[in-house]
Structure 1
């Protein structure tokens, strides 16, 4: 059993990539309209948004944490930004205000987890609920906020390079930056050390708490970027997405891609292959007109299986269980 799990862990990226390729090929053969340019563009856009969100989530999870506020930050920050534009605010002023609010949320999440020792799952769940409730009740006037005509976000949505939507390049750019950060910078290596064993990391002089705050700031900022990409493709942002299953899709991308929930393991390659598989799967279910309730059942089943396999391959040590980080 242990040998089989070791082989599965080593080949998980390859297995997920092969499954994604098989699913794409089967859909191309058996699903009318799957290869239509508009549908392929929709796929790569959804993969890009999922990938950007998952990149931020992956950095948090590799460091032995979780961010359940990501979707709320994504939707509500961009909704507030567009609301300010609609109210006549200057673009750069509105963008700075929204970015500052996102930065503040990331700092608050990180501070409460790192310095107040509140478990991340509770901090980010509460902050996500607060952000959604406060912005929707006090700041914006409706659920869906449209992008102003001829705004740069609208131009971003139309941007294509050699027929490939600009969102794809932004996603891969963020993935490359995150890869370089994790692999080649001192603070990126600290993420792995702290995720593998935070007590030992702290005892060796690694600034575990400031680095933990940094992870939540990165997650919040990537969520803001994902919200801008969503608005560019839909020409609006709908705050009801906070109550959707998008958050679970992000976690599914991370886990099925091969990033261990116990921390200290994974890379941006896992995010890319996970986003490919889940993006294609969601598109196929949409084309097949599978009701949302059954889509959610399928996704939750896959997530549960992925978490069980992850628990077998990356067993939680006693320290992780006591700390309650995830």
Structure 2
């Protein structure tokens, strides 16, 4: 009897936490039943590979959302940072040192822009929605202007080879996604900064009375988001060898937010996890892949994502009640 009670207690405590894993497994089983080719190793690998770019961004945006903010600029920032790296590589030449310098500049720019967005939100008292919506328009406009609405392309073979590299039979973006998730999980769950992020999002007033620098913590979450975007932009631009000023990164903000919300991150702040966002991104990737295999019109896929976000938020509200 005691063992049965312990088992029931364990399931009650951990089922909500691991529910998203069961949902992913269930979706994969359904997809496999609808399309036998879905469960082929090559297709599963492709899903993971394609999900990695948005997944890395979603991990960064999870920090922002837990702290009570939002970041709508990530898609346009992907295009801006990716085009920056490509232009610098083209000017500096096809050398390893040139690639390192160009990527370093892109990361520094991401930190600067993330810090700026954080300051405007905290010190400028501009709502995060307005700040990042404006930033989204600014970044996209800059990329379009510099490229005259065209495409940035690189002839650097070394740069392109990075994004197409396989390590131990796995694509590099997939490996970076996994490692990035592990590092972010440790940062969020095992450090003082992570505890502060949760505290700020859960109750800003209580955080202030606890001597937590709320503005600094919130600002740093935007820096984390910027670094995440820079990582994704580098991997994406090196894999494609180009950045379209008009289409690259479009809709990434919706996908990243959807992945975080599916994973249990609250839009009102104070709740979420990297574990949940990681599997939330994979669930979104499985759904996208399933829609393609079922020949669902591309134009309807955005509707499906929108319904998923609404459903996930509704489920969170029902659990809270």
Report TM bin, short chain: 0.7 to 0.9
Pair 119,9 (structure 1): closer, same or farther in 2 beyond 3 Å: farther
SS in 1 for 2:212: coil
What does residue range 5-154 of structure 1 map to in structure 2 within 5 Å? 11-88=15-92, 90-137=98-145, 139-152=146-159, 154=160
RMSD: 2.3
Write the distance in 2 (CA, Å) between the matches of 1:102 and 1:147: 21
Counterparts of 1:15 and 1:239 in 2: how far apart (Å)? 39
User: Matches of 2:13 and 2:268 in 1, distance apart?
Assistant: 14
Runs (4 or more) in structure 1 with deviation over 6 Å come to 7-10
SS in 1 for 2:181: helix
State the shift of 1:88 in Å. 4.1
- Structure 1 residue aligned with 2:7: none
Deviations along 1:108-150, whole A, 9 cap, x unmatched?
Answer: 100011111111011011011111102321x334543234342
Structure 1, residues 58-95: CA drift from partner, whole Å, max 9, x if none? Answer: 01111111111111111211112212322446434433
Gaps of at least 5 residues in structure 1 are 1-6, 316-326
- Deviation, structure 1 residue 241: 3.6
C-alpha contact 2:52 2:174 (8 A) present in aligned 1:
yes
Contact 2:74–2:252 (CA<8 Å) still a contact in 1? Answer: no
Distance 1:240 1:40, change over 3 A: farther
User: CA–CA distance in 2 between the matches of 1:231 and 1:40?
Assistant: 22
Secondary structure in 2 matching 1:148: coil
- Whether the 8 Å CA contact 1:147–1:231 is kept in 2: the answer is no
| Cα distance in 2 for residues equivalent to 1:114 and 1:314 | 28
Indicate the larger mover: 259-268 or 113-122: 259-268
Most deviating of 304-313 and 273-282: 304-313
CA contact (8 A) 1:80 1:135 kept: no
1:12 and 1:230, CA in 2 relative to 1: closer, same or farther beyond 3 A? farther
Q: Structure 1 residue 278: deviation in Å?
A: 0.7
Match of 2:207?
Answer: 201
- Number of paired residues? 307
Cα pair 2:68 2:269 within 8 Å, conserved:
yes
CA contact (8 A) 2:85 2:234 kept: no
Q: Is the 8 A contact 1:9 1:313 kept in 2?
A: no
Q: Matches of 1:272 and 1:9 in 2, distance apart?
A: 20
Aligned to 1:160: 166
Deviation digits for residues 199-238 of structure 1, max 9, x if unmatched? 1111221111111111101101101111122223333333
Task: Report the alpha carbon displacement of residue 38 of structure 1 after superposing the two structures with TM.
Answer: 4.4
What TM-score do you get using the length of structure 2 for normalisation?
Answer: 0.87
| In 2: Cα distance, 1:9 partner to 1:220 partner | 34
* 2:174 pairs with 1:174: no
Deviates more, 1:273-282 or 1:143-152: 143-152
Q: Which whole-Å CA distance do the structure 1 matches of 2:320 and 2:234 have between them?
A: 35
Q: 1:9 to 1:67 in 2, by over 3 A?
A: farther
1:294 equivalent among 296, 300, 304: 300
Contact map agreement 2:122 2:218 (CA 8 A) in 1: yes
- In structure 2, the residue matched to 1:318 is none
Tell me the SS of whatever aligns to 2:47.
Answer: helix
* CA displacement, residues 241-266 of structure 1 (integer Å, 9 cap, x when unaligned): 46733221111111111111221112
